[in-house]
Structure 1
Amino acid sequence: MIVTLTPNPSLDRALDLPRLDPGEVNRATAEHLHPGGKGLNVTRALAAHRVDSRAVLPVGGPDGMRIVDLLAAQGVAAHPVRVAGDTRSNLTLAESTGRTTKVNSPGVALSAAEVDALLAAVEAELLPDARALVIAGSLPTGQAPELIARAIEIGVRAGVPVVLDSSGAPLAAAVAHGGLALVKPNDEELAELVGAELTTVGDVQRAARQLIADGIGAVLVSLGSHGALLVHADRSWWAGGPALVPLSTVGAGDCTLAGFLAADDPDPAVRLIRSVAWGRAAVLLPGSAVPGPADIHPAEVAVVVDPDASTTLKEL
């Protein structure tokens, strides 16, 4: 069982457009509706591959109930926690060129009692067979990062590896708190965290190892169209494939993480290949749809052990 916590879920609406003309009337060619939020996307991707996972999330208002209904219809296991505020909606505008514009709502902060209920749900789901606790996504505007620190402690007490995929202040606070087996930033989020520009593989490796020196087990850095870099204290692996024209990039990083967690092979290179294959498959689907087994093509992904540190990220 892989348990995911999504503190700020959303109902994701995506519109397909030939081209976005700001300030003009734009007509969509298709509309897509999916449960959204990083942790939810991880569980949805795992469920599509019959990997046991359960999503814990706060839900409120009509959009929150719509998320619950969509998850049930898709056979995705969830532990919704009712809250007073309305679950947010996000909008994605996907152009035929592959460019994606995303507008995210801030979300409504949870009360102290609602935070307690949400974390109690996480603790209840961490059964003895739990393989990981994934804390993923943003926090609602005004929500204290303490929520993430408390969730990490629940995982640590249960003896379950804790994985984090977040950004900004929540990521910084969680890294400072410690107790994480894996963090999955993208290169921009990692650069912001360490306060340095990352232009080469060596830059990313050094930044990741700053986190590892502070007690993080490993760092999985998604590089968008340039693949992903997995960094351990003494080794690193890069994986990527031929260029793609994306249909939507929303949720691709979440599927990358799901693929890494789903792989049961202890070889980091094999796990990274699977991870990147899942992420590549996700960008070829509309909205925040997740890939199924037929969409995954690991043979298209190459892996390099200890890649040349002088290589620029744009060269990958």
Structure 2
Amino acid sequence: MIVTLTANPSLDRTVMLPAPLQVGDVQSAASTREDAGGKGINVARAITAAGEECAAVLPLAPDDPYDAALRAADVVARRVAIRGNVRANIAITDPAGVTTKLNLPGARLSPDEVSAVVDAVVAASVGARWLVLAGSLPPGVGEDFYVRIIAAVRAARGADAPLIAVDTSGSALAAVVADGAPDLIKPNDDELAELVGVAIDGSDPQSVLHVARALVPARVGAALVTLGSRGALLVAAEGAWAAAPPPIQVVSTVGAGDSSLAGYVLAATRGADQGERLRLAVRYGAAAASLPGTKAPAPADLPTGDVPVTRLD
């Protein structure tokens, strides 16, 4: 069982253009699609498509139009009733796969709604092997929200608490690293650079490794650092590995990092070693980038090209 939390879900609208975006001009779209999104939902969709049991916790008003898209996504959802509606995010992609995103703020949660979300995650974590806390935080929860959830789950479950992965950025990620002691974080190279306050050359694995080693294992159990078209780097207590992606035709990069995290968790749940976890993470990220919108990849969508993994230390 894998549990995800999407504290700030979004209705993801993707507009595909037949030519590059021209700022200030009127352009006709080639096609559009709409998906139930948010990082935790994206992870849950990929895990469910792989045939693994997964429950997605999210705040959602009973009459929110988002619920129709969520039901179409065919994920097991544990809804926490709130008053506000889910935000809408807009992604614009061109034939080269260049993506422009507009992310709107989410509904503000009241103190009672915040507590209800925490309680729902604690309840859902019974028997779970992994808990994935993913995405930005909505207004009203405080930057330490994920830290609060981690503490509540570990206090309630003790030795049976699930492993915890966190995929967020900015002050929320800083709070988790400072006080949450997660088992895994999944920043990209820009988010890692912001977190530690130093420049990182994402094209140089040793540069990324040097920065990540300041966090692993002192503050976090492991770091899966996604590098876009350059693949990803995995840093754990026992070593570090880099992986290059297989060749693909990029359609939309939205959600690729979420799918990478799903691939890692899937491999970890199945008992794979760290190198194989990284390999599947990169394969899933590449698959997502080859699909339109935030469509979650299924096993049949995974590229068959080689994903070379190199041990760094």
TM-score (norm: length of structure 2): 0.93
User: Corresponding residue for 1:310?
Assistant: none
Which moved further from structure 2: 88-97 or 213-222? 213-222
Cα deviation code 1:15-58 (max 9, x no counterpart): 10012111111111111110111111000110111111111011
| 1:224 corresponds to 2:228 | yes
The one of 124, 130, 133 equivalent to 1:135 is 133
C-alpha contact (below 8 Å) 1:155/1:162 kept by paired residues: no
1:93 Cα offset (Å): 0.4
SS at match of 2:207: helix
| 1:145 corresponds to 2:151 | no
User: Corresponding residue for 1:195?
Assistant: 197
User: Corresponding residue for 2:177?
Assistant: 175
SS at match of 1:21: coil
1:266 Cα offset (Å): 3.0
The one of 142, 152, 164 equivalent to 1:154 is 152
1:197 Cα offset (Å): 0.7
Cα deviation code 1:177-199 (max 9, x no counterpart): 13200000000000000011111
C-alpha contact (below 8 Å) 1:162/1:180 kept by paired residues: yes
C-alpha contact (below 8 Å) 1:265/1:271 kept by paired residues: no
Q: Distance in 2 between matches of 1:3 and 1:213?
A: 24
1:115 Cα offset (Å): 0.4
SS at match of 2:214: helix
Q: Equivalences for 1:1-316 in 2 at 5 Å? A: 1-18=1-18, 19-60=20-61, 65-128=64-127, 130-141=128-139, 143-157=141-155, 158=157, 159-199=161-201, 200-263=204-267, 264-297=270-303, 299-306=305-312
User: Corresponding residue for 1:313?
Assistant: none
1:204 Cα offset (Å): 1.1
Cα deviation code 1:131-164 (max 9, x no counterpart): 1111000012454123211111133232211110
Which moved further from structure 2: 109-118 or 238-247? 238-247
Which moved further from structure 2: 271-280 or 71-80? 71-80
SS at match of 1:12: strand
Q: Which runs of 5 or more residues in structure 2 are unaligned?
A: none
Q: How many residues align?
A: 304
The letter of the residue matching 1:255 is S
SS at match of 1:215: coil
C-alpha contact (below 8 Å) 1:277/1:296 kept by paired residues: yes
C-alpha contact (below 8 Å) 1:153/1:179 kept by paired residues: no
SS at match of 1:247: coil
The letter of the residue matching 1:104 is N
The letter of the residue matching 1:305 is R
Cα deviation code 1:249-294 (max 9, x no counterpart): 1100000000010011331111111111010000011100011111
SS at match of 2:271: coil
C-alpha contact (below 8 Å) 2:90/2:103 kept by paired residues: yes
Q: Which runs of 5 or more residues in structure 1 are unaligned?
A: 308-316
C-alpha contact (below 8 Å) 1:163/1:182 kept by paired residues: yes
TM-score (norm: length of structure 1): 0.92
C-alpha contact (below 8 Å) 1:274/1:298 kept by paired residues: no
1:61 Cα offset (Å): 7.6
Q: Distance in 2 between matches of 1:274 and 1:57?
A: 26
SS at match of 1:212: coil
C-alpha contact (below 8 Å) 1:230/1:236 kept by paired residues: yes
